[in-house]
Amino acid sequence: MTPGDESVAESARAVHQGASAVRRVEAALAHLAETEPRLHAYLHVRADGALADAAELDRLGPEARAALPLAGVVVAVKDNLVLKDTPTTAGSKILEGYRPPYTATAVARLQAAGALVIGKTNLDEFAMGSSTEHSAYGPTKNPWDVTRVPGGSSGGSAAAVAAGTALVALGSDTGGSVRQPAAFCGVVGLKPTYGRVSRYGLLAFASSLDQVGPLGRRVADVAQVFQVMAGRDPHDATSVEGPPGGPVLDATGSLRGLRVGVVGSQRDQAGPEARTALDEAVVALSDQGAVVSEVDLPHSRYGIAAYYLVAPAEASSNLARYDGVRYGVRGEGQDLAEVYLHTRGEGFGTEVKRRILLGTFALAEGYYDAYYLKALKTRTLLAQDYRAAFRSVDVLLTPTVPETAFRLGEKLEDPWAMYQSDVMTVGANLTGLPALSLPWSVTAGGLPTAIQLTAPWLEEARLFSTAAALEASRAQPWTGPAGEGRGAS
């Protein structure tokens, strides 16, 4: 049995009832050994550590096991989330050899709940990318079709879940980096409300946009993992508490009376396969009693431009710490300026350099008002658009991405075309809203499509209930990339 063959609840229940956690890790490692040569989803496989953690879990008594909601659940973690004494690179040569002295809060909470971390997953360098081709350690490939990208920047995490080497995985989402790869790989991905999950231990890209989010095969799996991770953290001043009780799936599966707004402008931007998926979801919602109407987000067409000013500006500041002096790779030089020059010139990849330069330019004297300040004003207008929309609807529906997974190398030489992959996801980051990508169908070409749900601040429960009802309404049981059956629940 591989991790993808059961739900989080089933996996934990089995361990609560005496099943061996060590056996679960051994099965996951064996499956990983089969899939990794063609996928490259992982940068570091934590075989000894995961087996040791599993053995410790097996030694616990029945009552102690039963108190762990994620007992024996095999998880993977994106390699920009630190794990104590474990290699952490953020997909960059500049951090080669770095072993952090502490663990990220989101990861620590999963481990405290009994989850077993099997490895660190591949990503676009410092989470800057939409295809996982910008990793300094080589690209990850899509389990549905290895000639195509898995999306990014959390492509390794999405591929690991889709391939069944981990039951759930953690990613980070700055402009769509959980939801876009979830869509390309046919898994569920959540970008929580900004602050709902602690960013402590997440290597910063753009601090006002970054958020840690889970990926899984099922809505219930993502909801359960989210409930463990979420909550206030004294190490993160931006973290917030959510509604008491946390997200609970609506057991009735009824959507009667739910007001759903379809963002017409984003439907128009989608390709034919994405539009078909959206239209089918609208029918499914209507069949379950939801009231569907079209809404407008007038400033959403400026979202990509605003994002690619705000995010690089924050990145240019956050990445200044990688100087070759305190940790990571150190370049040689005759003086400090040369050390900085060689360290950053040799340690950072092309896409990271591009974004640092763009962000530094946007913040420069004489350009700040024309670019960065205007982007901030656009961000405010976009937030007002969403608030206005949520006065008349409960949840927004769009495609997650405008197209299915593109081919490896197809957009590497055209950054603007690559950036367009995020056109439907950046809005949730710019406004801090929670959003979820749900796999919907499989095209005639054998690639997954997806839809995206967005809710008001702190309304993850609404996302989960809506997505779970839609998940159950699909005409055919969901299948994994190899065609193996994956039920909706």
Going from N- to C-terminal start, the domains of the chain cover 3-260+390-486, 301-378
Q: What is the pLDDT of residue 4?
A: 60
Q: What is the pLDDT of residue 405?
A: 97
pLDDT tens track for 19-28: 999 999 999 9
Grade residue 328 by pLDDT with cuts at 50, 70 and 90: low
Q: What is the pLDDT of residue 71?
A: 98
Q: What is the mean pLDDT of residues 411-420?
A: 91
Q: What is the pLDDT of residue 476?
A: 62
CA distance 345 to 213: 31
pLDDT higher than 90, residue 250: no
CA distance 91 to 203: 11
Q: Is 308 helix (H, G, I), strand (E, B) or coil?
A: helix
Contact (CB, 8 A) for 185 and 150: yes
User: What superfamily in CATH does domain 3-260+390-486 come from?
Assistant: Amidase signature (AS) domain (3.90.1300.10)
pLDDT higher than 50, residue 321: yes
Q: What is the pLDDT of residue 198?
A: 98
pLDDT higher than 80, residue 252: no
pLDDT higher than 60, residue 482: no
CA distance 153 to 128: 6
Closest of 447, 344, 468, 457 to residue 403, by C-alpha: 447
CA distance 322 to 306: 26
Question: What is the secondary structure of 80-91 as a DSSP string?
Answer: TB--TTS---TT
Q: What is the pLDDT of residue 475?
A: 57
Q: What is the mean pLDDT of residues 171-177?
A: 98
The percent of residues in the chain predicted with pLDDT above 90, rounded, is 83
pLDDT tens track for 94-138: 999 999 999 999 999 999 999 999 999 999 999 999 999 999 999
pLDDT higher than 60, residue 299: yes
Which residue has better confidence, 291 or 336?
A: 291
Question: What is the secondary structure of 217-263 as a DSSP string?
Answer: SSHHHHHHHHHHH-S-BTTBTT----STT-----TT---TT-EEEEE
Q: Is 166 helix (H, G, I), strand (E, B) or coil?
A: coil
Closest of 66, 190, 211 to residue 466, by C-alpha: 190
Q: What is the mean pLDDT of residues 350-368?
A: 90
Q: What is the mean pLDDT of residues 175-185?
A: 98
Closest of 479, 295, 475, 275 to residue 385, by C-alpha: 295
- Mean pLDDT, the chain, rounded, equals 92
Q: Name the residues annotated as catalytic.
A: 78, 153, 177
pLDDT tens track for 39-73: 999 999 999 999 999 999 999 999 999 999 999 99
Q: What is the mean pLDDT of residues 349-367?
A: 90
